[in-house]
Amino acid sequence: MAGDADSGGLPGGEAAEEMGMGGEEERVATLLGIAEECDTEEELRLLLRGNPHPVCYDSFLPCDRMTIAQGVLKAIHVKKMVEAGCRVKIWIDDWSAFLNNKLGGDMEIIQTVGRYMIEVWKSIGMNHDGVEFLCSSAEINSRADEYWPRVMGISTHRKIGVVRELRECKKPTAQFFNPCMQCAGIFFLEADICQMGMDQHEAEIDLKIKQAFCPPKIVKGNPCIEYIKYIIFPWFGKFEVVRKAKNGGNKTFMSVEELVMDYESGSLHPADVKPALKEAINQILKPVREHFENNKEAKFLRDTVKGYSEVNSE
């Protein structure tokens, strides 16, 4: 692999350490820290020992305006993957959006939304040298003779029962190809690590935070605490609360555990958490807002996508 050539003959772990990416344990801890679970931890260790720059695959479906959790979490995860020495390839899956009839199945609109999402991520800091955005339709068309035989091969292992399910729920058979194409994309890009999305988890957090749901003394299932855990601490390394002296005065939490302890005891109230969370999120999003206000092309792209969203919501 490309990473082996850069190592100068050193084993992957030693090469990575010389390049300032830390040793094996540090790199493994970084990658496991952004995963809810890892199916093959031992294989991950073996991979990092032999390859200082493994290819990490991630993808997104351009179908609507981006949520806070979707945008910021992916930026955090990609930053950590790059720090661990990974080369990140992000698959802009416009073909899957088309097959799932997202945005009315209009490929031009789908690709415009894809460009908007890339613009958001770059403005929030996902513009590292180790990150590459790839449009699935363009990549597939350029190497069709390699891609489609792989899809056909994978489809021979799919059970015909899936087609029956699509028929029963009256969905187009085109959706049968979607999982086969997604699987083929991973091999097509020669990925070593697959960072699978947490879209449902992100959507649930966004919905709850909009409802301002923050029950006192309850941490489990509290979306405000989850936002702080998954976004604020990874981004800032701390959580700052500003409050009056009679309510305990200002306090900077340096760990999630410290925050949870105060919140469960009642010494930290929801009325203090929510404005502090709002302020932290605004700090993260400030460069994004400024970019879309000051860059004419980005502003036009944002307004165009906003128009698509308004039409679809009618």
**pLDDT for 191:** 92
What are the pLDDT digits (tens) for 110-121? 999 999 999 999
**pLDDT tier, 13 (very low <50, low <70, confident <90, very high otherwise):** very low
Which tokens sit at 45?
Answer: 């260790």
Mean pLDDT for 128-154 is 92
Query: Does the structural domain 54-197 have CATH classification 3.40.50.620?
Result: yes
**pLDDT for 171:** 65
Q: In the beta sheet, which residues pair with residue 238?
A: none
Q: What mean pLDDT is reported for the chain? A: 82
Q: Specify whether the CB–CB gap between 28 and 48 falls below 8 A.
A: yes
Which range is least confidently modeled, 204-208, 243-247, 302-306? 204-208
Domain layout of the chain by residue ranges: 1-50, 54-197, 201-313
Largest CA distance in the chain: 70
Residue 5 has pLDDT above 50, yes or no: no
211-214 contacts at long range (C-beta below 8 A, 24 or more positions apart): 212/274, 214/270, 214/273, 214/274
Task: Report d(CA 155, CA 181) in Å as an integer.
Answer: 9
**Helical H runs in the chain?**
2-6, 12-18, 24-32, 41-50, 68-83, 94-99, 107-123, 136-142, 144-155, 161-168, 174-188, 199-210, 223-227, 233-236, 256-265, 270-294, 296-313
Is the pLDDT higher at 12 or at 4?
Answer: 12
**pLDDT for 73:** 86
Predicted TM-score (pTM) of the model is: 0.77
Three-class HEC string of 102-120? HHHHCHHHHHHHHHHHHHH
Residue 79, classified by CB atoms within 10 Å of its CB into exposed (0-12), middle (13-18) or buried (19+), is: buried
Residue 230 has pLDDT above 50, yes or no: yes
**pLDDT for 277:** 93
Task: Report d(CA 232, CA 278) in Å as an integer.
Answer: 10
Q: In the beta sheet, which residues pair with residue 89?
A: 57, 132
Residue 84 has pLDDT above 50, yes or no: yes
Residue 188 neighbours by CB under 8 Å, 6+ apart: 139, 140, 143, 146, 147, 150
Residue 12 has pLDDT above 50, yes or no: no
Residue 227 has pLDDT above 80, yes or no: yes
**pLDDT for 11:** 38
**pLDDT for 312:** 58
Phi, psi of 125 (to 5 degrees): 115, 0
CATH (residue range 201-313): 1.10.240.10
Mean pLDDT for 130-158 is 91
**pLDDT for 290:** 93
Task: Report d(CA 10, CA 14) in Å as an integer.
Answer: 6
**pLDDT for 296:** 92
Residue 173 has pLDDT above 50, yes or no: yes
